[in-house]
Chains A and B, each alone.
Chain A
């Protein structure tokens, strides 16, 4: 009888740690922590096969052309020797056209639900053209600066109208700001400089 009343021995759990270590190491090896970040873009819809690429009639003042040549040099609005750092300011000036100048895109007045009446450059287009030998990094840099220009303009407008950043606004407000500053970045077909959006 004395044997039964004795305390039951503990199960040895010291190998539990080893097992969980093994699992841990397995997961460390097979998974990756990278959070994918990137520039979101939207491609234009494909042309129907029988469609002849035609010159879309965009007024010259509404067009902002950035060309990148095979040596990654920029040609902005026909001027050579631009530095990538100045591109954003130039693009902002073009999109905004603050003083309503005649060589910058024409402005259109529209009534918005949340913003009230606004004059904005509805028809402006930024065209990015690259060479076959352009480096990918240079292309991404240009895209990045143009997106940055739009993001800054959106934030500035959001600050002026609502006192908040663009990301913090409600959906309708964001939508209206997006209408004022749409990301009209057109990418011409590589060899065809007709520029179909």
Chain B
């Protein structure tokens, strides 16, 4: 018995953690590969509508987003609760869309300008009036490729 006790007192060899960084780095690279940087911080509440015939949005660098929804609670005092448009990081008016799109397009490479897509990211309770206004503005700005963002669901 005494022999056993003597051995224990010498202590366990330390568990080698030298491969832990490698594992974490692997996780890190995985997340770097599959995720994308957040586009903007939302100032409007967006619960996307659901649909079944979805297509993936390809080539994110060619996509510009228009957000539509009712302002988040911290902006309610200033902007009210009716649906508002958000471009980049700020609220905007329908009349600003045309300039925004034109500016964004001229900042792109020439060969990419024709394939620019505008993604309308709107809340499902938005009224169509504002969406129609946006569509007319996009038509005037010659941004004809559009995409209604939606989440997927099983059919009825």
Which of A's residues lie within 8 Å of B, judged by CB?
A: 13-14, 16-17, 19-21, 23-24, 27-28, 30-33, 35-46, 68, 84-85, 130-137, 139-141, 143-144, 147-148, 151, 187, 189-190
Give the interface segment out of B29-37, B73-81, B86-94. Answer: B29-37
Closest to B128 in A: A134
Given contacts A23-B28, A133-B128, A137-B124, contact A37 B17 (CB under 8 A): no
A33, A84, A151, A187: the one within 8 Å of B53 (CB): A151
Q: Offer 26 A-B interface pairs, CB within 8 angstroms, sorted by A.
A: A13-B18, A17-B21, A20-B21, A24-B27, A30-B37, A31-B31, A31-B37, A36-B56, A36-B57, A36-B60, A37-B152, A38-B54, A38-B55, A38-B57, A38-B119, A42-B146, A45-B142, A45-B144, A132-B129, A134-B128, A135-B124, A135-B128, A136-B131, A139-B131, A140-B148, A144-B51
Q: Is there contact, CB below 8 Å, between B148 and A143? A: yes
B24: nearest chain-A partner, CB-CB: A20
A43 touching B38, Cβ below 8 Å = no
B131-146 with Cβ < 8 A to chain A: 131-132, 135-136, 138-140, 142-146
- Known contacts: A137-B49, A144-B52, A190-B129. The answer to whether A21 contacts B57 by CB under 8 A is no
**How many contacts between A and B, using CB within 8 angstroms?**
157
When chains A and B are docked, how far (Å) is the Cα of A44 from the Cα of B146?
Answer: 11
A41 touches B21 (CB 8 A): no
Question: Closest residue of chain A to B65, judged by CB?
Answer: A36
In the complex, what residues of A have CB within 8 A of residue B144's CB? 42-45
Whose C-beta in chain B lies nearest to the C-beta of A131?
Answer: B128
Complex Cα–Cα for A39 and B118 (A): 12
Please report the C-alpha to C-alpha distance between residue A148 and residue B70 in the assembled complex, in whole angstroms: 30
**Beta-carbon contact of B150 and A38 below 8 Å:** yes
B47 → chain A closest CB, angstroms = 9
A20 touches B148 (CB 8 A): no
User: By the criterion CB–CB under 8 Å, are B28 and A147 in contact?
Assistant: no
Taking a contact as CB atoms under 8 Å apart, the answer to whether A37 and B55 are in contact is: yes
Structural contact, B150 and A39, CB atoms closer than 8 A: yes
Residues from chain A with Cβ under 8 Å of B57 in the complex: 35-38
**Contacts A134-B127, A137-B49, A190-B132; A36 near B32 (Cβ below 8 A):** no
A35 to B55, CA, bound (A): 10
What are the residues of chain B within 8 A of A136 when measuring CB–CB?
49, 122-128, 131
Smallest CB–CB gap between A25 and chain B, Å? 9
A140 to B34, CA, bound (A): 28
**What chain B residues lie within 8 Å of A41 (beta carbons)?**
146-148
